[in-house]
A and B are shown apart, each in its own frame.
Chain A
């Protein structure tokens, strides 16, 4: 199975909102409500930001939100802050396997 498709990069100014898309198929994103999103700063381990499509773990800012429509999931970050600059990865359950997206580099201008 192929990796999920994400844009290579997105950018936004402080205070703005950005959305990162993650496109899969009916065998992964479209078939299950088990999409998660991870933030990874350089040299650090990934951190869970969203699970089960739209749920935020305790401690994650409410500026982060997730959604899904058909075979595409999205991560929205509102009120962009400098600390949000990082790589973001989507992830989906796909039956007996798990798929990650290729990652999106977020630049805060």
Chain B
């Protein structure tokens, strides 16, 4: 079945970077995009951007421009999201999902805690 499995929880200090991975299985990875959505504690969903595995193109939400990099590696069917210059308000669950504007399936989520 189509499945996305994300890397484990991370604890980072303010100013550091985090890189989350998302390994896909059950479909042809190169035909789709991987998008990233985050959810702060008790809050709603926030789209961060996407990386298209078929051509490498990316789109980022304006809020994260310059601070985020999303990539895909078709040789390992894995998507990556790196967020730099972390702040306390970046504490959230980060989800990957297949697709560009509708998302199925979703990964299980990766908790990133930013704390000094």
Contacts and interface: CB of A to CB of B under 8 A. Distances in A.
Could you say which interface size class chain A belongs to? 20 to 34
B44 A3 contact: yes
A34 B101 CA distance: 7
B108 A36 contact: no
Interface in B44-64: 44-47, 50, 59, 61-62
Considering residues A46, A47, A98, which has the most beta carbons from chain B within 10 angstroms of its beta carbon?
A98
A97 B106 contact: no
B47 A97 contact: yes
B104 A96 contact: no
Interface in A1-54: 3, 34, 36, 38, 40, 45-48, 51-52
A89 B45 contact: yes
Interface residues of B, number: 22
B47 A48 contact: no
The binding surface of chain A is classed by DSSP as: strand
A99 B47 contact: yes
A103 B44 contact: yes
Interface of A: 3, 34, 36, 38, 40, 45-48, 51-52, 57, 89, 91-93, 96-103
